[in-house]
Amino acid sequence: MRQGCPVIRRPTRPVRVGPVTVGGGAPVCVQSMTNTPTADGPSTLEQVKVLASAGCEIVRVAVQDEDALEGFRFLRRNVRIPLIADIHFDYRMAVLSLEAGADAVRINPGNIGAVWKVREIADAARARGASIRIGVNAGSLQRSVLRAHGRPSPEALAESAFRWIEILEGMGFTDLKVSAKSSDPMETVQVYRMISEGTDYPLHLGVTEAGTLVSGTVQTTAALSLLLTDGIGDTIRFSLSGDPVPEVHAGFELLRCLGLRTGVRVISCPTCARTEIDVARWAREVEEKVRTLSVPLRVAVMGCPVNGPGEAKEADVGVAGAKGFAVLFVKGKTRRKVTPEGALDALMEEIEELVRKKGKERLNEGTT
Ligand code: SF4
């Protein structure tokens, strides 16, 4: 299988979000955002834990008022994962979130208002070694930029981002990440290309208001694939309506596809009249079990024994359904028959064996 990374990343400076480095050649990291009321600390804590166990590396949490701030404080006391406080309008919430232990704040300076308020945020971040994401957004550009461009065009978004970079640099603050998301995937590509030409701050990629699971995933993938293969982007988020956990899954899947992360790729056949097992369910179950493994493996779940192993001969290991039993195969060759009930456990044993073997190989490579 394909190894290594064909993408040449554009050099960016490293910025810390708590223990995670963003940019500076660090792996592109996957973010998501909670959608429970932040004021409800225990529910948000539960969601953050689920996101973390799905592999999410940085979690963003909206802190919009005093109650949310209280929930954020509760959260900070109970989780170690890097937390970004997402702030609109009220600079005091940014300052107080930083005092509560936020690793970074995301602000849209266009709606924070006066420059002195942005300075207060920068001073609070500097005092705690926290970073700031300038999060320009098509829906909330400052009026002067909007007037000059007539609409939130890629040029307008880029201009706004550059303005705020300059303002924060003028305050001596450079621990910055930048995002400028449009809800249009191709405009998102344009704006990030422009920004990447003009700055070496790390970029957080995403398509804003991308949509529901399928539509939003496709739109985000379309834009982010173009950017990431150009080497642009240091951290990503899929902004999908609903449960945030699939955002994390989609993020890792995309990075794996582009060779920017290693991990287990589960392939499954599209099913046809020959299908003997519930391919979709089996594939989902395998995906759940292997999601956080970082060893590069291909695992196949195929519907029939006639074409399954042959069709999946690129797979390291796989299972194919048959009448009353299932077949485990390795590199396209049948290994053994198993009962349908025991098939997934048997497959997992094979995977664990391969993971152990590959882990040892990696260890040996590292010591020679
Ligand atoms: S592997 Fe078998 S069941 Fe699946 S699509 Fe191919 S022929 Fe059909």
| Averaged pLDDT for residues 224-230 | 97
Beta strand pairing call for 83-87 and 204-205 = unpaired
| Averaged pLDDT for residues 303-322 | 86
Over 90: is that where the pLDDT of 362 sits? Answer: no
Mutate to test the pocket of ligand 1, among 276, 307, 314 (most ligand atoms within 8 A of CB): 307
pLDDT of residue 365: 60
Q: Could you identify the atom of ligand 1 that is nearest to the CA of residue 269?
A: 4
Q: Residue 230 burial (CB < 10 Å; 0-12/13-18/19+)?
A: middle
pLDDT of residue 368: 40
State in Å: Cα 282 to ligand 1 middle. 14
pLDDT in tens, 117-160: 999 999 999 999 999 999 998 877 888 888 899 998 999 999 99
Task: Give nearest CA residue, ligand 1 atom 2.
Answer: 304
Q: Is 272 in the pocket of ligand 1 (CB under 6 A)?
A: yes
pLDDT of residue 110: 81
Question: Do residues 14 and 22 lie in contact, with contact meaning Cβ atoms separated by under 8 Å?
Answer: yes
**Alpha carbon of 139 to those of 84, 110, 219: distances in Å?**
21, 10, 18
pLDDT of residue 366: 52
State in Å: Cα 171 to ligand 1 middle. 62
SS (HEC) of the chain: CCCCCCCCCCCCCCEEECCEEECCCCCCEEEEECCCCCCCHHHHHHHHHHHHHCCCCEEEEECCCHHHHHHHHHHHHHCCCCEEEEECCCHHHHHHHHHCCCCEEEECHHHHCCHHHHHHHHHHHHHHCCEEEEEEEHHHCCHHHHHHHCCCCHHHHHHHHHHHHHHHHHCCCCCEEEEEECCCHHHHHHHHHHHHHHCCCCEEECCCCCECHHHHHHHHHHHHHHHHHCCCCCEECCCECCCCHHHHHHHHHHHHHCCCCCCEEEEECCCCCCCCCCHHHHHHHHHHHHCCCCCCEEEEEECCCCCHHHHCCCCCEEEEECCCCEEEEECCEEEEEECCCCHHHHHHHHHHHHHHHHHHHHHHHHHC
| Averaged pLDDT for residues 42-47 | 98
Q: Is 263 in the pocket of ligand 1 (CB under 6 A)?
A: no
pLDDT in tens, 245-302: 999 999 999 999 999 999 999 999 999 999 999 999 999 999 999 988 889 999 999 9
pLDDT of residue 364: 62
Dihedral over alpha carbons 166, 171, 172, 178 (to 10 degrees): -40
pLDDT in tens, 319-358: 999 999 999 998 878 899 999 999 999 999 999 999 888 8
Q: Could you identify the atom of ligand 1 that is nearest to the CA of residue 306?
A: 2
Q: Is 309 in the pocket of ligand 1 (CB under 6 A)?
A: no
Give the span between the Cα atoms of 363 and 352, in whole angstroms: 16
Task: Give nearest CA residue, ligand 1 atom 7.
Answer: 307
Nearest one of 65, 12, 73, 17 to 41, comparing CA atoms: 73
Residue type, 318: G
Q: Could you identify the atom of ligand 1 that is nearest to the CA of residue 304?
A: 2
State in Å: Cα 251 to ligand 1 middle. 28
State in Å: Cα 305 to ligand 1 middle. 8
Task: Give nearest CA residue, ligand 1 atom 1.
Answer: 308
In degrees and rounded to multiples of 5, residue 265 shows phi and psi of -100, 125
pTM for this predicted structure: 0.91
Q: Is 303 in the pocket of ligand 1 (CB under 6 A)?
A: yes
pLDDT in tens, 173-196: 999 999 999 889 999 999 999 999
Cβ within 8 Å of residue 110, ≥6 positions away: 136, 137, 140, 141, 142, 145, 160, 164
Question: Do residues 189 and 223 lie in contact, with contact meaning Cβ atoms separated by under 8 Å?
Answer: yes
Q: Residue 298 burial (CB < 10 Å; 0-12/13-18/19+)?
A: middle
Give the span between the Cα atoms of 363 and 159, in whole angstroms: 48
Over 50: is that where the pLDDT of 367 sits? Answer: no
Spell out the domain ranges in the chain: 15-257, 264-367
CATH of the structural domain 15-257, one choice from 3.40.50.1950, 3.20.20.20, 3.40.630.10, 3.10.20.30: 3.20.20.20
Give domain 264-367's CATH superfamily: Sulfite Reductase Hemoprotein, domain 1 (3.30.413.10)
Q: Is 271 in the pocket of ligand 1 (CB under 6 A)?
A: yes
pLDDT of residue 252: 95
Q: Is 276 in the pocket of ligand 1 (CB under 6 A)?
A: no
Confidence of residue 1 (pLDDT cuts 50, 70, 90): very low
- Here the tokens at position 20 are 């995670």
